C-alpha cells in the first residue's frame, strides 16, 4: 500500500483516470470474508460509462482488470466487477447486484 492512501481511493483513482465514467462505486467488501479486521482485500466496483457501448462483457472486464493490475498483484484478492452503459444502468434503476456470501476457508496465501 502506498503511504496513507486507502486501497479504495487507489482503485477509484485508477478507474477514473482510465475510463470516462458517468458513475463509479468502489465498495470494500472485505468485512464479509474470513480475513483480518480492516482488511482491504475484497472489493466490488460498479462502473457506468459510454465507453462500454457495443463492448462485450469480457472486454469491459478486461479493461477494468488491466487498470487495476497493480492492485490485484498487491493484495486485492477478490474483485467483483459490474459494468453498464448509461442505458443499461437506467434499466437497472441504478442498482448493481449483491456479491455472494463468502464460503472460503482462510488461505495461507490469498494473493492470487
Q: Which residues contact another protein (rule: CB under 8 A)?
A: 57-58, 61-62, 65, 69, 72, 78-82, 97, 99-105, 107, 112
Of residues 37 and 105, the one with the C-beta less far from another protein: 105
Which residue, 96, 99, 95, 74, is CA-closest to 14?
Answer: 74
- For residue 3, the minimal CB distance to another protein (Å) is 24
Which residue, 89, 92, 68, is CA-closest to 80?
Answer: 68
Between the alpha carbon of residue 22 and those of residues 16, 50, 84, 90, the distances in Å are 10, 8, 10, 12
Of residues 36 and 100, the one with the C-beta less far from another protein: 100
Of residues 36 and 101, the one with the C-beta less far from another protein: 101
CB 39 within 8 A of CB 77: no
- For residue 18, the minimal CB distance to another protein (Å) is 16
- For residue 68, the minimal CB distance to another protein (Å) is 8
Amino acid at each position: 500500500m502506498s503511504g496513507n492512501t486507502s486501497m479504495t481511493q487507489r482503485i477509484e483513482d485508477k478507474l477514473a483516470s482510465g475510463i470516462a465514467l458517468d458513475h463509479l462505486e468502489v465498495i470494500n467488501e472485505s468485512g464479509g470474508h474470513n480475513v483480518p479486521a480492516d482488511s482491504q482485500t475484497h472489493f466490488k466496483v460498479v462502473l457506468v460509462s459510454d465507453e462500454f457501448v457495443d463492448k462485450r462483457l469480457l472486454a469491459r472486464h478486461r479493461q477494468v482488470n488491466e487498470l487495476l493490475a497493480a492492485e490485484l498483484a498487491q493484495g486485492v484478492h477478490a474483485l467483483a466487477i459490474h459494468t453498464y452503459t448509461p442505458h443499461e444502468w437506467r434499466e437497472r434503476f441504478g442498482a448493481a447486484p449483491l456479491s455472494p456470501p463468502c464460503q472460503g476457508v482462510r488461505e495461507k496465501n490469498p494473493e492470487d
